[in-house]
A and B are shown apart, each in its own frame.
Chain A
Amino acid sequence: MPNVISQDGSIREDNWVVVPRPAEGESLDIPADQPALIPADLWLAGYEHFTGRQDIGVWFDSHDEPEILEGHVNELPVIAVNFPKFSDGRGYSIGRLLRERFGYVNELRAIGDVLLDQLQFMKRCGFDAYVLRADKDITKAQKCLNFFSQGYQAATDTDVPLFRRRAS
């Protein structure tokens, strides 16, 4: 059962399971008694079946295109983005697109190789839940989310870049 870090650094337990992409010819192995995150394209493929369910969310891999869910994002209780390697920065763009372009308002969760020093970027790109890699010290998350009290740019967390704040 993963510990999930919230944007304010607090920690909660939850039981969402990430269902891996099934091998060719296999079907999705969705657990009966737990909420599950399934690959986004498969959710779309089984749209009739999945939409509106509060126990089914989706996940994107870093090379996936969030555009496929345009118009449907808010039908999902949770969207997760996988960081296959912490140095793969594509997930940050995916986060911002989901929030800023497609207007997603529910939970956006970072999964995969999620380390402490990347949390601050995830936070600014719209992620509000983080599943830290298990070997990392979760008690340091709050500090690492809050090294900076402000940023120069507009991003998901603020649409007022510093140059506009200075002007006012």
Chain B
Amino acid sequence: MYVYDEHDRQMAAERVAQFRDQTERALAGELAEDEFLPLRLQNGLYVQRLAPMLRICVPYGMMRSDQLRRLARITRDYDKGYAHFTTRQNVQLNWPALEDVPDILAELAEVEMHANQTSGNCIRNTTTDQFSGVQSDEIADPRPYCEIIRQWSTFHPEFAFLPRKFKVAVNASEHTDRAAIQVHDIGLQMVRNEAGELGFRVHVGGGLGRTPMVGPVIREFLPEMDLLTYLEAVLRVYNRYGRRDNKFKARIKILVKALTPEGFAEKVEAEWQHIKDSPTRLTPEAVQRIQAYFTEPDYANLDNATDLLASQRFEHREFDQWLTHNVDTHKKPGYAIVSLTMKKTGTPPGDVSDKQLEQIAELADEFSFGEIRVTHQQNVVLADVRQDRLLELWQAITPMGFGTANLNTLTDVICCPGGDYCALANAKSIPVAEAIQRQFDDLDYLYDLGNIDLNISGCMNACGHHHVGNIGVLGVDKKGQEFYQISLGGSSHHDASIGKILGPSFARDEMPQVISKIIDVYVDKRTEEETFLDTYRRVGIDPFKERVYA
């Protein structure tokens, strides 16, 4: 994992001092509300329904156990003893006091953490696949490139006041996309060209929110060393020509659409020609230097524990289920990737207490070289667990509530905070997630249904990614009543697509029944090997409509 050097440390400390000064001036009335707003947003500080909310950056989802322990302490000392994992791999505190925020930032800086650019109209945290570096089908480890982008985008003087927020995601696996890159402002897919050289396929202009779009490819192959100059060209074109007259039309996706992807690409190429050989061009040494932080941990030389696991599976049926669903193949023999699910029915998706943060830190130290990854599905990954210790780990996490064996199933819901916390909400989202989890509490039935992404947002802002859920739920306001609109067929993976609206919306208490009917249609129509999405794509939306509105 990346470790700060004296430069990073100095800038982090200077940033804390700066924000302290800004906060003091705001509290003293020297900064008007609208002047302080972007300054605090660039430090992840929203003011919400109940209190400020502080979004803490977890660069590309990676954290060490000491950082988790510090977070736990912060939630205890400054908040109500819990935190929330977000869909962009970050962590949120829901109740800090404004005047405490500089102290919180100082405590974070001590463990190489910060809240820079986690909100506001600037370049946000770069996200990636939570299985980076440990899966066997990746082109290269994407995390060094994420770190390179993090450094380039941090306090970038030209791009601090963009028309709108800007999110970059990197994916390196050939077969899966766990980072939803095609619904980001810039999505970078690592590829090799015919000569075997490393580079990126560049998608620009994806995004959710009010006008959901899948980002078109604007460059098929960007050589590795040209990464930053090309990003700078894209950002400059966007900064200069993105719309600023209407907040709802200000995302880069609108500009790409207006110019057409080809027209946009031409403008970027023209800009890039001027700067492609500037000093911002990466050097092999610079890349290697960052890569050196992401070397393999000290793996033991092991064989796969196939026989042992088989007999343990045989003895413990629930362990067997967990192994099948929450544990993935590691590139190294004898190791496994474990997802801890934060989706126990009755707990808001992604919520963790201070105790649980400390438990996760313990688990990381004991089982996975002291590191964890946060996933955009709001779960936590232990990436380097020895296979011969999986049973022990499973026994440890079950009482902690991290062992629900529902990864990627219908009840592994992505859900925004919604009306319980968020001032912009049209409707609550957490109770809907819970009602659906209660309706589908039979694990065997869930397994039979296979992978289904169910995503819930409390309003059009789409924090819960409802457009790209196989089943998406959106809170809408109908004459002051909370209603829910359903869309089907979305995907955030390599086959990214935006879901289609099913029809008129439903009251909250109807939701579990409606979801059941949708699932019934799938069960009736599917062929043996089809997932929900496959069946939907084959039969279309009509059979679902007929059943639900019968």
The verdict on B494 contacting chain A, using a C-beta distance below 8 Å, is no
Q: Per-residue CB proximity of B143-177 to A under 8 Å, as 1/0?
A: 00000100110111111111000000000000000
The verdict on B278 contacting chain A, using a C-beta distance below 8 Å, is yes
The verdict on B279 contacting chain A, using a C-beta distance below 8 Å, is yes
Q: Chain A: how many interface residues by the 8 Å CB criterion? A: 38
The distance from the CB of A25 to the nearest CB of chain B, in whole angstroms, is 26
B39 to chain A: which residues have CB within 8 Å? 117
B157 touches A124 (CB 8 A): yes
A148's partner among B11, B21, B38, B152 (CB-CB below 8 A) is B11
B160 to chain A: which residues have CB within 8 Å? 89, 92, 121
**Smallest CB gap from B148: residue in A:** A163
B158 touches A96 (CB 8 A): yes
**Smallest CB gap from A123: residue in B:** B157
> A88 vs B164: C-alpha distance in the bound complex, in angstroms?
10
The verdict on B392 contacting chain A, using a C-beta distance below 8 Å, is no
> A116 vs B174: C-alpha distance in the bound complex, in angstroms?
47
A121 touches B282 (CB 8 A): no
Name which of A13-21, A42-50, A74-82, A149-157 contacts chain B. A149-157
A92 to chain B: which residues have CB within 8 Å? 157-161, 239
Q: Per-residue CB proximity of A107-148 to B under 8 Å, as 1/0?
A: 000000001011011111100000000000100000100011
Q: A87-B121, A93-B239 are in contact. Are A153 and B7 (CB under 8 A)?
A: no
B7 touches A89 (CB 8 A): no
A159 touches B158 (CB 8 A): no
A32 to chain B: which residues have CB within 8 Å? none
B289 touches A163 (CB 8 A): yes
> A7 vs B513: C-alpha distance in the bound complex, in angstroms?
65
> A58 vs B244: C-alpha distance in the bound complex, in angstroms?
24
Interface residues of A in 85-105 (CB under 8 A from B): 86-90, 92-93, 96, 101
Q: Per-residue CB proximity of B2-35 to A under 8 Å, as 1/0?
A: 0001010011001101100110000000110001
A162's partner among B38, B151, B162, B240 (CB-CB below 8 A) is B151
> A165 vs B252: C-alpha distance in the bound complex, in angstroms?
32
The verdict on A161 contacting chain B, using a C-beta distance below 8 Å, is yes
The verdict on B304 contacting chain A, using a C-beta distance below 8 Å, is no
A93 touches B155 (CB 8 A): no
A28 to chain B: which residues have CB within 8 Å? none
A167's partner among B30, B278, B285 (CB-CB below 8 A) is B285
**Smallest CB gap from B159: residue in A:** A89
A121 to chain B: which residues have CB within 8 Å? 157-158, 160-161
B283 touches A167 (CB 8 A): yes
> A147 vs B236: C-alpha distance in the bound complex, in angstroms?
25
Q: A87-B121, A149-B14, A167-B285 are in contact. Are A162 and B7 (CB under 8 A)?
A: yes
B157 to chain A: which residues have CB within 8 Å? 92, 120-125, 151, 153, 155
The distance from the CB of A133 to the nearest CB of chain B, in whole angstroms, is 10
> A125 vs B157: C-alpha distance in the bound complex, in angstroms?
7
Question: Most chain-B Cβ atoms within 10 A of its Cβ — which of A93, A120, A163, A167?
Answer: A163
B274 touches A147 (CB 8 A): no
A161 to chain B: which residues have CB within 8 Å? 152, 279-280
B22 to chain A: which residues have CB within 8 Å? 117
B400 to chain A: which residues have CB within 8 Å? none
Question: Most chain-B Cβ atoms within 10 A of its Cβ — which of A153, A154, A155?
Answer: A153
> A148 vs B315: C-alpha distance in the bound complex, in angstroms?
60
Q: A88-B244, A153-B152, A163-B282 are in contact. Are A93 and B158 (CB under 8 A)?
A: yes
Question: Most chain-A Cβ atoms within 10 A of its Cβ — which of B14, B21, B240?
Answer: B240
A154 touches B280 (CB 8 A): yes
The distance from the CB of A143 to the nearest CB of chain B, in whole angstroms, is 7
The verdict on A166 contacting chain B, using a C-beta distance below 8 Å, is yes
Q: A92-B157, A121-B157 are in contact. Are A153 and B280 (CB under 8 A)?
A: yes
**Smallest CB gap from B163: residue in A:** A89
**Smallest CB gap from B30: residue in A:** A137
B280 to chain A: which residues have CB within 8 Å? 153-154, 161
> A161 vs B161: C-alpha distance in the bound complex, in angstroms?
21
> A166 vs B239: C-alpha distance in the bound complex, in angstroms?
29
A90 to chain B: which residues have CB within 8 Å? 239-240, 244
A152 touches B286 (CB 8 A): no
The distance from the CB of B20 to the nearest CB of chain A, in whole angstroms, is 10
The verdict on A68 contacting chain B, using a C-beta distance below 8 Å, is no
> A121 vs B280: C-alpha distance in the bound complex, in angstroms?
18
The distance from the CB of A47 to the nearest CB of chain B, in whole angstroms, is 25
A53 to chain B: which residues have CB within 8 Å? none
The distance from the CB of A108 to the nearest CB of chain B, in whole angstroms, is 14
A147's partner among B17, B30, B244 (CB-CB below 8 A) is B17
B159 touches A163 (CB 8 A): no
Q: A93-B239, A93-B240 are in contact. Are A163 and B286 (CB under 8 A)?
A: yes
The distance from the CB of B330 to the nearest CB of chain A, in whole angstroms, is 31
**Smallest CB gap from B239: residue in A:** A93
B158 touches A155 (CB 8 A): yes
The distance from the CB of B350 to the nearest CB of chain A, in whole angstroms, is 30
A147 touches B154 (CB 8 A): no
B121 to chain A: which residues have CB within 8 Å? 87, 89
**Smallest CB gap from A95: residue in B:** B158
Show 6 A/B contacts (Cβ-Cβ < 8 Å), sorted by A: A89-B158, A89-B239, A101-B274, A148-B18, A149-B10, A161-B280
Q: A96-B158, A153-B280, A167-B285 given. 17 additional CB < 8 A pairs?
A: A87-B38, A90-B240, A92-B158, A92-B160, A117-B31, A121-B160, A147-B14, A147-B15, A147-B17, A153-B152, A154-B279, A155-B157, A160-B279, A163-B148, A163-B151, A163-B282, A166-B286
Q: Which 10 residue pairs are nearest across A and B when measured between Cβ atoms?
A: A89-B161, A124-B157, A163-B286, A147-B18, A121-B157, A92-B158, A152-B151, A159-B279, A154-B279, A167-B285
